[in-house]
């Protein structure tokens, strides 16, 4: 290992190239964020995608171990997450409603094919 104690201006060329994951967590997660008149305003959604890529494997491991930091991570609990959450809740409610209607619809479907088609049209949304 390179001796970290060497007191000389550090020379990037003389060291092993830094690990990409180490670089990414610094250049994406840290560093000054300047709001205002920047030309390209990276919205949460783009960084979120990358972050998800990076951590996606971690999530399963962490969940297995009962760690849930991502539920409190501001990146993952922004507005977008609220919408996803609301979407999920609505789908759950819809599923309950559909379930309670299902027996009746099944009966009606035999007598009334158009209604059944309407229900099928919703399914790709699942």
Partner 1 sequence: MSDVGTYLYAVALDEDAAPAEGLTGVAGEPVRAIAHAGLVAYVSAVPLSEFGEEPLRQSLEDMDWLGETARAHHRVVEAVAAKAPTAPVRLVTVYNDEAQIRALLERRRDDFVRLLSRVAGRREWGVKVYVAPSAPPPAAAEPAAHSSPGTAYLKKRQASLHTREEAWRQGVERAERIHDVLSSVAVAGHRHRPQDPQLSGREEWMVLNGAYLVDEGRAEEFGRVVEGLRGEGIDVELTGPWAPYSFTTPVDTKESEDRDARS
Residues with Cβ within 8 Å of 63's Cβ and at least 6 positions away in sequence, in order, are none
Q: Which stretch binds partner 1 (CB under 8 A): 44-52, 84-92, 93-101, 109-117?
A: 44-52
Instruction: Compute and round to an integer the Cα radius of gyration of the chain.
Output: 25
Dihedral in degrees, nearest 10, Cα atoms 91, 93, 96, 100: -120
Q: Which of residues 69-88 bind partner 1 (CB under 8 A)?
A: 69
Provide the mask over 51-70, with x wherever binding to partner 1 is found by CB under 8 A and - wherever it is not. --xxx-xx--x---x---x-
Question: Which residues form the interface with partner 1 (CB under 8 A)?
Answer: 1, 3-5, 7, 9-12, 17-34, 36-42, 46-47, 49-50, 53-55, 57-58, 61, 65, 69
């Amino acid at each position: 290992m390179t001796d970290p104690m060497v007191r000389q201006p550090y020379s990037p060329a003389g060291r092993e190239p830094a690990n990409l994951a180490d670089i990414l967590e610094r250049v994406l997660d840290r560093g000054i964020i300047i709001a205002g008149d920047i030309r390209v305003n990276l919205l949460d959604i783009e960084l979120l995608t990358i972050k998800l890529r990076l951590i996606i494997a971690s999530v399963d491991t962490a969940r297995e171990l009962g760690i849930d930091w991502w539920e409190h991570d501001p990146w993952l609990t922004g507005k977008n997450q609220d919408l996803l959450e609301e979407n999920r809740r609505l789908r759950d409610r819809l599923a309950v409603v559909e379930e309670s209607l299902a027996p009746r619809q099944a009966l009606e479907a035999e007598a009334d094919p158009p209604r059944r088609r309407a229900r099928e049209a919703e399914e790709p949304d699942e």
